[in-house]
Amino acid sequence: MKLLVVGSVAFDAIETPFGKTDKILGGAATFIGLAASVLKTDVSLVSVVGGDFPQEYLDMLESRNISTEGVEVVKDGKTFFWSGRYHNDLNSRDTLVTEVNVLENFDPKIPESGKDAEVLLLGNLHPGVQLSVLEKMEKRPKLVILDTMNFWMDTAWDILMEMIAKTDVITINDEEARQLSGEYSLVKAAQKIHSMGPDYVIIKKGEHGALLFHEGKVFAIPALPLEVVFDPTGAGDTFAGGFAAHLAKTGDFSFDNMKSAIIVGSAMASYTVEKFGTERLQEVTQQDLLDRIALFKQLTTFEVDLYFD
């Protein structure tokens, strides 16, 4: 199946305890597209960049069969830019600069070839923009996956609710799930979020892994314990990309295959954090992915033989 991704293609400048970068390639849709390309999923990006965005980045994406037909270039505009500094624990960061630039008036242009995509991944954008994408599709995609964040809960609640009502799978972090639902228990939070629309609720917990909730069932996966996390930027987007790409590639939206998709996304994300930005993700092979999926299997497999009298 075809995967359509709407989200940012951007510049990042990153500081971690291990070093710093100049302006490098970033953006949610970029990480998602690259993750999809490892799985050789038919993927199309919808985004907007400025005239300052290097053609070589678009060429690199195209060379990996990531369609950039839907990436609008605003010649006299500037590309979205984010700069941040991670703390020593790499779990928290300060934003140093956010220049929204051309993303401010982002009006997604869906290319004809993308309008019949069966799987739609709506990256973290204003929920009004996300809704407008749904309206532009030829027909409703078979699976709508939504990423969002607390900022939209604070500033665009009603329209966010409207968007969530039309969502099949929502991915948010644990604090956002609590804010969205008003419940501290993640089990109760997931129940409330189900009642807002999504059949599947994925709660991302960073270094503590992720939870998937569906019809009273739960799946939990720890993150792979890593010796070195070099740069966490894009890990969540890579996760979402691997997840959505696996579902589009297999066309199977069952709970069991959603679990597989979470493993694929987690394995992919565990590579992203090993180098700055998209650098490591660009090198990942299918064999790398298989290796790390095998590690997840080792990490979580157990047998209990009981011996009761």
Contact positions vs its own copies (CB under 8 A): 40, 88-90, 184-188, 205, 208-209, 211, 217-222, 225-229, 249-250, 256, 259-260, 262-264, 286, 289-290, 293, 298-300, 302-309
Closest contact distance (angstroms) between CB of 93 and its own copies is 15
Nearest CA-CA partner of 104 in 122, 136, 128: 128
Closest contact distance (angstroms) between CB of 2 and its own copies is 16
Closest contact distance (angstroms) between CB of 83 and its own copies is 23
For its own copies, give the closer residue by CB, 47 or 181: 181
Number of other residues whose CB lies within 10 A of the CB of residue 294 = 11
CA 32, 236, 49, 85: dihedral to nearest 10 degrees?
Answer: -150
For its own copies, give the closer residue by CB, 98 or 185: 185
For its own copies, give the closer residue by CB, 165 or 226: 226
- Residue 149, Cβ density class (10 Å: 0-12 exposed, 13-18 middle, ≥19 buried): middle
For its own copies, give the closer residue by CB, 165 or 290: 290
For its own copies, give the closer residue by CB, 49 or 90: 90
Closest contact distance (angstroms) between CB of 191 and its own copies is 8
Distance between CA atoms of 242 and 264, rounded to whole angstroms? 6
Distance between CA atoms of 18 and 21, rounded to whole angstroms? 10
Closest contact distance (angstroms) between CB of 169 and its own copies is 17
Distance between CA atoms of 178 and 92, rounded to whole angstroms? 19
Distance set, CA 214 to CA 92, 120, 125, 211, 256 (Å) = 30, 19, 25, 10, 11
For its own copies, give the closer residue by CB, 102 or 186: 186
Q: What is the DSSP string of 101-126?
A: GGGGG------GGGTT-SEEEE-SS-
Closest contact distance (angstroms) between CB of 3 and its own copies is 15
